Structure 1
Amino acid sequence: MAQRLVLLCVLILFLSNQVNSDDLELNYYGFHGLNSSGSTNLTLNGVAEIESNGMLKLTNDTLRVLGHAFYSSPIRFRNSTNGKAVSFSTAFAFSIHPEYPKLGGHGLAFVISPSKELPGSLPSQYLGILNSTVVGNFSNHIFAVEFDTVQDFEFGDINDNHVGIDINSLVSNASTAAGYYEGSNSSKKELNLKSGDVIQAWIRYDADKNQVTVKLSPSSVQPMTSILTFDVDLSPIFQDYMYVGFSSSTGLLASSHYVLGWTFKMNGDAKSLYLDTLPKFPKFKKKHKGVIVGVSIGAAVLMFVLASGLLGFYIVRKIKNRDVIEAWELDIGPHRFPYKDLKKATRHFRDKEVIGFGGFGKVYKGTLPNSDTQVAVKRISHESRQGLQEFVSEIASIGRLRHRNLVQLLGWCRRRGDLLLVYDFMPNGSLDKYLFENPRAILSWEERFKIVKGVASGLLYLHEGWEQTVIHRDIKAGNVLLDAEMNGRLGDFGLAKLYEHGSNPTTTRVVGTLGYLAPELTRTGKPTPSSDVFALGALLLEVVCGRRPIEPKALPEELILVDWVWDKWRAGAILDVVDPRLGGEFDEFEVVVVLKLGLMCSNNVPKARPTMRQVVRYLEGEVALPEAVASPGAYERSKGGVDGSTGGEFEDYVNSYSYPTSSYFEKASTWSCDDGDVDFEAGSSSSPTSVSGKGGASYPR
């Protein structure tokens, strides 16, 4: 009898934790009475908490955190008879408060998942749902609707204010700009997810139509028209029992994500929320005054790609478990290393030998067998056979590049799912280790100037000095390596192009790093030599200032490096931006040349940037810089868009500022030059075709 009673209790407990989908209905008009552990019906983890006023706060303004809130019991989402997914609907009110008003801090998502903990999930662009290892796997069994305030190019986001339907991945199956319809015949109205306003969302899955619909509104009334519709059968996505709830995350920029109320119903329509009856939002004090100007919101997004670090781009698919050398590989150069030699050189790819991480994989330090030659071995893996031969052929091309300011590719190896690239070892590491946070050593101004001239020379070779134009696509301090003599050498050139051989040829990927991406890339996705010049502009400024292009820990007016430098330039205090760790030991004229050139290269209008040949001539003192410098944010304020079709960009050139008079600038203006004019093409055929800078001076030899 006692044993039967125990079994009965166990059965009751089991059944109580699994909710019958036929009669489930959840109604949270605020979350009053729930404690920080989620009480008995909500499970919270990460930084998620219930505030005293009854709001569910998924994340706060802490960087790189995530928050989850799930209904504690699993719910049956598939019919036990035929295995078909069951209809459901939900409505919830949310509000997003970014740390910086114009910049998002990622977003939140409504999630249906096999787990309420989402183990191994990452913050930043992963929204606390997945991680880089499992993203896209069919075994995830994840359904989510994201409300994203960051445009992440890795996942193909359409903008920084969108709604997306995600299945097993953060690459949305369908997405649209956030908005709503007031009536059946009205046009779509814009809705700013970052505004801090309370927004209501309705999500419905119709199992008969195999259709997901999403609606948004700033009011309590459910619109008649959906902003997003996606036809899909969720039966193979769902398991029998799933958890339902919310996930959110922050990255290097943060937002506080709130849910004020939530209703959910299986096999029926969830009740709409009356926003006036929900917990009232306290008035937030703005931490930062002013408007952040001159930064592409698309560029702000990609910082999260850098911050997430450790992201593996898969370049060659796993092939048979044998080290097979195919016939076409025998004719490929440069040198093909035996796998066993590289394994021995890196001590079996021991973690202690790792000297760096990149978007494409880990980099190991090694010493080749029977030699004292030190090398750097980059280990890359890929899961697609597509483009393998083209990939290795591209390596052959890159292996023939020869320049003193490029990191030399010595050879390669392909085995199983690994592609190994062998480079010259750079004993002094990457430039970013000497510029930011706690540098390993303070570079003198002479060393910095030599480095930027070397990088510019190497980039000119890639653009014009070889038989093909090579666009680097990821110029940044982390990809500038320093040899034994502290010469700057560009590394990782061509890898972005190599990656495309293994990607979907119908998609356009924007490759690069936040703060270095030219604004036109966010529209076209097509890199050009001019987009490399834009990234070089960011590098020039950070070498002088010792600061990253976007510095989240800085004061609001100093957040965007190019804007800060520009403001100081206009105020006549340009030397205030020089890295204080130099202790005032620098050549003032050289510093002004580099800063001025950095501003010119950072112009949002591609035609306004100099070519790499001009950049090198300016740095070498062969040609004088123009006296006038256009605002780097000319495009932001022009009426004609990126191409300046209405002449707006020309107005900015006319109203541009030159460096105010000072003792050293007066000295510079007395020097002569043969060619002091630089022409900028205006965007309108009706506008003058050039503006000439006057009074420039060549750098004395």
Structure 2
Amino acid sequence: MFVKLYVLLVLLVSLVPAEAQDLNFIYNDGFNGRSGLNLSLDGIAEITPKGLLKLTNDTKQKSGHAFYPNPVTFKNSENDTAFSFSTIFAFAIRSEYTTLSGHGIAFVIAPTRGLPGALGNQYLSLFNVSNNGNFTNHVFAVELDTLQNPEFSDINENHVGIDINGLRSVKAAPAGYFDSQYFKNLSLSSGKEMRVWVEYDGTKKQIEVTMAPIAVATKPPTPLLSLKYDLSPILNKVMYVGFSSSTGSFLTSHYVVGWSFRMNGQAQDLIASKLPKLPSIAGKKRSMLFTFGVPLISVSLVLLVVSGVLYVMRRKRKFSEVLEDWELDYGPQRFKYKELYIATKGFREKELLGTGGFGKVYRGLLPSSKIEIAVKRVSHESRQGMKEFVAEIVSIGRLRHRNLVQLLGYCRRKGELLLVYDYMPNGSLDKYLFDQPELTLNWSQRFKVIKGVASGLLYLHEEWEQVVIHRDVKASNVLLDGEFNGRLGDFGLARLYDHGTDPQTTHIVGTLGYLAPEHTRTGRATTRTDVFAFGAFLLEVACGKRPINTQGPEDVILVDWVFSCWNRSNILEARDQSFGTDFVAEEVELVLKLGLLCSHSEPAARPSMRQVVQYLAGDVALPEVTSGLAVGHREAFDDYAMSYQSSFGKGSLQSTYIAESALLSGGR
């Protein structure tokens, strides 16, 4: 009888609401039942034999959820005010590429387990296209996001954000922590374990998020994110707590190593030494080698070893590459030559996409991930030291924008440098514009490309962590993806500098016809010289003509011709006649006039790329074109031709252009 009463008492206590019992749980030694209740899992989430919570498992385009199985009471039934709560969890994200993963992890408080209807990829399995941002979601989340999604206004590809009912974070910051008075960056997809503290003070209506490497034993005193926000209207009385994750185009595993949670108090800290260990990356390979190696013992093993040694020696000579100690820091952004050789089928001519002044470009398919790539083989020579040059290439590889060709990494071998880009199936824009192309683009397609390239340049000049000067904007460096979206590529000449500082580039680089007059005189490149080149790009796209035509008896400067049409009050005469009547006259006129405006000989008179984007979107009216605009290209052409001839001998402007094109052209 006493036993029955005791059991009944235990059951009654378990049914007391969380507001009375202050829920408190911890998973410090694994999620496999030893620390408490089993989690509720869906998608591809699983608990490994070692007790790790594995939300995704080296897959693409997949999702996983894990929730504490019991509902949690978050509100006082008397005054409908959200309680205080705190949670601590340790996580790790492992990807095939350290700087390329997808899409991240989110700690989430939601009305239901599993979040039915949520999409993966950039939606982190939290929301979908139709409900993202809806107040009726009643979802609070802290995202650890490893990809930049412009549609959600993400600040970069490695950030922490506080999400209320949607993925446009209410507040976000680059991943990292404050050590004393200094901020230290952390790479979410580094594969290393990190700890996160999420705390909500129901009295002060204050949310704080802090993170640090697992080796940092105590919580840093300064939070990474601090937000004054009342969660009472967001949270229902009863909610579920857990984690959500999703992958994209890169093989990624998302782990939660330990988790602690408490209502109305401070969550119990995790003891790092008791947490289950992440699997060894090399362990799988060793076990496979052992499994397949045992049957080959005796004579066959000896023969295999001897032949293997000879084969490795030959392959080593064939695939030998330059590798210095300082390059070890760049990790996965440095490709092995062997991998690129296999991807391009030995750089055979059939895979050749094109040839420019800086080298040949080959199509390839990475054997490990089946991702299509473009590999550019360029000279090993550099105006900078190789270490500085590669450092800039790696920095540029962190650029993330829908209108930029992604630079995935590099390889050095013998006398050449190989740059690896995303493959663009429709090739470069110039083949659809000039020399009677087999397929021409209509005006709608061209205008979309123009706006896309403008958006990409704005990102380079103002929206990334550093200022990037492209220095070679032109149609042949604009590539088209499968949907004919324009993406600015070929960053071989690009240079970076910090916002608010003065660029120190002093070499004349680029392509004649796109060079600003001040650049040809001083060699100094700025964002305004990029704007000048963009002006030439606008005119060649709208007119279907190159900036300088040397085929006739006289050299024709495109901007001069467009200006003459404007001067005769018939600027639309300059348009590409292949449009026929299928174009929007106001848009064509806008692009032609904007091309003249960007071609102003005075740098200060040119618009910024932010203004250019506003003009193209119709948000701001374009200033009136004046007679002082259209002298830039002729001035630049004449100045640079004279400089070239004084150094290399006399000749016509036509011969100068042809010679210089061979030296400077980076197009395909």
TM-score, length-scaled by structure 1: 0.49
Paired position in structure 2 for 1:554:
none
Paired position in structure 1 for 2:30:
31
1:122 to 119, 123, 130: 119
Conserved? CA contact 1:17–1:73, under 8 Å: no
Distance 1:230 1:46, change over 3 A: same
TM-aligned CA deviation for residue 486 of structure 1: 3.2
Conserved? CA contact 2:46–2:54, under 8 Å: yes
1:213 to 203, 208, 214: 208
Conserved? CA contact 1:74–1:243, under 8 Å: yes
Instruction: Give the secondary-structure state (helix, strand or coil) at the position aligned to 1:139.
Output: helix
Conserved? CA contact 2:479–2:489, under 8 Å: no
Instruction: Give the secondary-structure state (helix, strand or coil) at the position aligned to 2:86.
Output: strand
Conserved? CA contact 1:536–1:598, under 8 Å: no
Distance 1:201 1:541, change over 3 A: same
Amino acid at match of 1:155: F
1:520 to 447, 461, 466: 461
1:613 to 513, 530, 536: 536
Q: How does 1:288-327 map to 2 (within 5 A)?
A: 289-290=334-335, 293=393, 296=396, 299-300=399-400, 302=402
Distance 1:74 1:435, change over 3 A: same
Q: How does 1:358-369 map to 2 (within 5 A)?
A: none
1:234 to 231, 235, 238: 231
1:674 to 635, 644, 653: 653
Conserved? CA contact 2:513–2:536, under 8 Å: no
Amino acid at match of 1:488: L
Correspondence 1:192 to 2:191: no
Q: How many residues align?
A: 412
Amino acid at match of 1:140: N
Distance 1:47 1:697, change over 3 A: closer
Cα offsets for 1:599-623 (capped at 9, x unmatched): 999x997735834537642686557
Q: Distance in 2 between matches of 1:174 and 1:206?
A: 17
Conserved? CA contact 2:401–2:459, under 8 Å: no
Q: Distance in 1 between matches of 2:227 and 2:126?
A: 21
Q: Distance in 2 between matches of 1:22 and 1:143?
A: 23
Conserved? CA contact 1:624–1:676, under 8 Å: no
Distance 1:495 1:14, change over 3 A: farther
Amino acid at match of 1:217: A
Paired position in structure 2 for 1:173:
170
Correspondence 1:247 to 2:244: yes
Conserved? CA contact 2:258–2:270, under 8 Å: yes
Correspondence 1:453 to 2:434: yes
Conserved? CA contact 1:48–1:69, under 8 Å: yes
Amino acid at match of 1:486: L
Conserved? CA contact 2:44–2:62, under 8 Å: yes
Amino acid at match of 1:49: E
Cα offsets for 1:4-23 (capped at 9, x unmatched): xxxxx9xx799869756633
Instruction: Give the secondary-structure state (helix, strand or coil) at the position aligned to 2:653.
Output: coil
Q: How does 1:544-563 map to 2 (within 5 A)?
A: 562=490
Q: How does 1:574-593 map to 2 (within 5 A)?
A: none
TM-aligned CA deviation for residue 450 of structure 1: 5.1
TM-aligned CA deviation for residue 111 of structure 1: 0.5
Q: How does 1:354-503 map to 2 (within 5 A)?
A: 436=425, 451-453=432-434, 486-491=439-444
1:277 to 274, 278, 290: 274
Paired position in structure 2 for 1:428:
none
Paired position in structure 1 for 2:258:
261
Q: Distance in 2 between matches of 1:305 and 1:617?
A: 23
Distance 1:280 1:537, change over 3 A: farther
Query: How high is the sequence identity, in percent, across the aligned residues?
Result: 36
Distance 1:49 1:547, change over 3 A: farther
Cα offsets for 1:269-310 (capped at 9, x unmatched): 00121222211223435877548936745643548999xxxx
Structure 1 stretches of 5 or more lacking a match? Answer: 1-8, 307-433, 456-481, 498-509, 551-559, 567-594, 626-642, 644-668, 679-691
Amino acid at match of 1:520: H
Conserved? CA contact 1:70–1:244, under 8 Å: yes
TM-aligned CA deviation for residue 598 of structure 1: 14
Amino acid at match of 1:211: Q
Correspondence 1:222 to 2:322: no
Between 283-292 and 45-54, the greater mean CA deviation after superposition: 283-292
Q: Distance in 1 between matches of 2:528 and 2:101?
A: 26
Amino acid at match of 1:205: Y
Paired position in structure 2 for 1:78:
75
Instruction: Give the secondary-structure state (helix, strand or coil) at the position aligned to 1:154.
Output: helix
Paired position in structure 2 for 1:577:
none
Conserved? CA contact 1:43–1:69, under 8 Å: yes
Structure with the larger helix share: 2
TM-aligned CA deviation for residue 240 of structure 1: 1.0
TM-aligned CA deviation for residue 182 of structure 1: 3.2
Distance 1:599 1:177, change over 3 A: farther
TM-aligned CA deviation for residue 165 of structure 1: 0.8
TM-aligned CA deviation for residue 76 of structure 1: 0.8
Distance 1:541 1:302, change over 3 A: closer
Instruction: Give the secondary-structure state (helix, strand or coil) at the position aligned to 1:120.
Output: coil
Distance 1:524 1:289, change over 3 A: closer
Instruction: Give the secondary-structure state (helix, strand or coil) at the position aligned to 1:146.
Output: strand
TM-aligned CA deviation for residue 534 of structure 1: 4.8
Paired position in structure 2 for 1:591:
none
Paired position in structure 2 for 1:374:
none
TM-aligned CA deviation for residue 192 of structure 1: 2.4
Conserved? CA contact 1:96–1:193, under 8 Å: yes
Conserved? CA contact 1:299–1:514, under 8 Å: no
Q: Distance in 2 between matches of 1:597 and 1:489?
A: 27
2:40 to 43, 61, 72: 43
Conserved? CA contact 1:160–1:297, under 8 Å: no
TM-aligned CA deviation for residue 513 of structure 1: 11
Q: Distance in 2 between matches of 1:496 and 1:561?
A: 13
Amino acid at match of 2:188: L
TM-aligned CA deviation for residue 65 of structure 1: 1.9
TM-aligned CA deviation for residue 451 of structure 1: 1.5
TM-score, length-scaled by structure 2: 0.51
TM-aligned CA deviation for residue 75 of structure 1: 0.7
Paired position in structure 2 for 1:505:
none
What is the alpha-carbon root mean square deviation over aligned residues?
A: 5.3
Instruction: Give the secondary-structure state (helix, strand or coil) at the position aligned to 2:463.
Output: helix
TM-aligned CA deviation for residue 677 of structure 1: 5.7
Q: Distance in 1 between matches of 2:202 and 2:32?
A: 34
Amino acid at match of 1:453: F
Name the larger-Rg structure: 2
Amino acid at match of 1:50: I
1:91 to 88, 93, 99: 88
Amino acid at match of 1:238: L
Distance 1:80 1:435, change over 3 A: closer
Cα offsets for 1:541-591 (capped at 9, x unmatched): 879xx99999xxxxxxxxx9847x99xxxxxxxxxxxxxxxxxxxxxxxxx
TM-aligned CA deviation for residue 515 of structure 1: 8.5
Structure 2 stretches of 5 or more lacking a match? Answer: 1-7, 283-330, 336-389, 407-422, 494-509, 517-524, 558-607, 609-647
Distance 1:676 1:128, change over 3 A: farther
Instruction: Give the secondary-structure state (helix, strand or coil) at the position aligned to 2:70.
Output: coil
TM-aligned CA deviation for residue 91 of structure 1: 0.3
Cα offsets for 1:501-526 (capped at 9, x unmatched): xxxxxxxxx97799898622533999
Q: Distance in 1 between matches of 2:50 and 2:115?
A: 27
Cα offsets for 1:424-450 (capped at 9, x unmatched): xxxxxxxxxx984xx9xxx9x9xx965
Distance 1:260 1:16, change over 3 A: same
TM-aligned CA deviation for residue 149 of structure 1: 1.9
Conserved? CA contact 2:424–2:480, under 8 Å: no
